[in-house]
Structure 1
């Protein structure tokens, strides 16, 4: 590992860091914009390029996430002379919605996410890129990222997948998942139903003690406060359409994993109850250049975990990308 002393933020001073450093940085150095994605859906993005940027990173975020949630990560990368580019995937964050209920987790096919990301790379990232371009993904964004690598195999130098959605929990057999999706679609065709898969609902903020995402109360509360203050980025549960599209995407990734040759780190959160760690390991084992790393004690959102878990991961990501120059 590179022993270079990287800048890393800390929980102890995070509220002050946000107020005195991160928010002013966001206003002064981050450029935001949008473009018309597939079928004219608005896709929002942001980027920042430090003066002495050594390389570039494209962030592909997870389900329900917004680029606004990544301010801490983006600031850390910026402070370490890394150019950062990020999109809000269609149907979430600041981007346009595709159903009558803005809380619906909806997409027809993951190719739509990939096509949006490819347009962003070609038209926004590439003209501004500094050095090699690396890919940093989380959860659903890792599925999108893997499919993008398959679509553009020479685009990225290295990739990091954090708690990748190569399988979801509960890990149901394919035949049973197909039956449940079909039943849910049939149910949702009835008058008065709300369009969600069974058990899903509009955005709801769980108390910290009930959350499955992180053991960092500081970062969890910052995340929930952000979503409370900017309700336009809130997103609820998934629809049968999204679940069917996700199932197809995950099978595509598993079937073609051997074609993902670039050097990659796959960080698996040991205490993850959202995605399927066994399927992660199986998929990673088929990627010729991948190293599978189980992160002890981590819940699903490794990038907003407590310092003891998060800082070694961020350090390793920065060292891994730096070695790819």
Structure 2
């Protein structure tokens, strides 16, 4: 008579089969969740064989007319099996071409990515006759440009509420956007945010200089003047730079800007005045940023003030701060020992 129960021989075989299936499933799941990032030792070859072709052939580029008719350059790519959308707001002097590796890595980990070159830098239009001058009259223009980009390009190509990734000056822009448009994004990451500047002079003295310069600039100047001590773009050697420990990423950034002729010089008095207003507003109204926020702080930053980051993060209802010890300002362009954990934190935070 046949038994309705498994024989002593069949049970171990079935158990082993089930265990094998479970292990295969767990391994497959782990692999699907594994974060893959470009490493420095492979970057020179990978740029030529993978990243540049990806940028040239897959990433879409465009432009639109922003506030006051300024041309705004854009770049984006929609992942066919997108986990979500990430909008990138870059820092001062930067542009989309500097973030080829970052956008490639975000895409390889399953994300659609959208970015724009902020007015006055990158491949976007300038507001001064001298294209080297880093200038903006009001951060409300940055915010309006970002809103137009989100409405026209990001939302129509996103299946869910997007996330926001900002760096340095782009964090001030992003924070102001979140204050005035609190429901657009799901989460935000601030990378080395410019919520305060490590200036060689105190703010009260900078304000005094700005007031005096603004008076004479209006009387004698036809366009905005550089802030005292600032000037046109000069080639700076890697040695002694304040932004990254990674020579290969530093040189790659320099090359791409020189090739396109879009390198930026120093700041105008107008840029500094607008930036001081923006940083003060972010500090005063940070509690209005209610979405989950992750602030990645560069432990060795000499460009922006980490103390100001502490204050702003503490004012947000849902902000966690992670310090990357000894890292310089450009976390997303740093050596692997700093960049890998920063990128991992970003990807994991957006996927949680």
TM-score for the superposition, normalised by structure 1: 0.95
Aligned match of 1:135: 164
For residues 186-218 of structure 1, what are the alpha-carbon distances to aligned partners after superposition, in whole Å with 9 as ceiling and x for unaligned?
A: 454547998100110111221101211100011
Gaps of at least 5 residues in structure 2 are 1-28
CA distance in 2, matches of 1:87, 1:190: 34
In the TM superposition, what is the alpha-carbon distance from 1:151 to its structure 2 partner?
1.4
CA RMSD of aligned residues (A): 1.7
The structure 2 residue matched to 1:108, chosen from 121, 133, 137, is 137
User: Does residue 220 in structure 1 map to residue 246 in structure 2?
Assistant: no
Q: Give, in whole Å, the separation in 1 of the partners of 2:338 and 2:171.
A: 20
Cα distance in 1 for residues equivalent to 2:179 and 2:272: 21
Q: Is 2:119 aligned against 1:94?
A: no
1:254 to 2:316 alignment: no
Higher Rg of the two aligned structures? 2
The whole-number CA distance in structure 1 between the counterparts of 2:46 and 2:199 is 38
Q: How is 1:230-309 mapped onto 2 (pairs within 5 angstroms)?
A: 230-231=260-261, 233-309=262-338
Write the mapping of 1:1-325 to structure 2, written as runs, cut at 5 A.
Answer: 4-170=33-199, 173-186=202-215, 188=217, 189-190=219-220, 195-231=225-261, 233-323=262-352
**Contact 1:54–1:131 (CA<8 Å) still a contact in 2?**
no
SS at match of 2:41: coil
Task: Please state how far the C-alpha of 1:7 moved relative to its aligned partner.
Answer: 1.3
1:174 Cα deviation from its structure 2 partner: 4.0
Structure 1 gaps of 5+ residues are none
Change (3 A) 1:125 1:194: closer
Q: 1:6 to 1:173 in 2, by over 3 A?
A: same
**Counterpart-to-counterpart distance in 2, 1:155 and 1:113:** 16
- Deviation (angstroms), 1:171: 7.0
| Deviation at residue 132 of structure 1 after TM alignment | 3.1
Aligned residues: 321
- Does the C-alpha gap of structure 1 residues 244 and 23 become closer, same or farther in structure 2, counting only changes over 3 Å? same
Distance 2:282 2:118 in 1: 19
Q: Deviation per CA, 1:80-112, whole angstroms, max 9, x where unpaired?
A: 110000000001000000011111111110000
TM-score by length of 2: 0.88
- Please give the per-residue CA displacement for 1:66-92, whole angstroms capped at 9, x wherever unaligned: 100000000001111100000000010
Distance in 2, matches of 1:301 and 1:194, equals 28
How many Å separate the matches in 1 of 2:202 and 2:225? 23
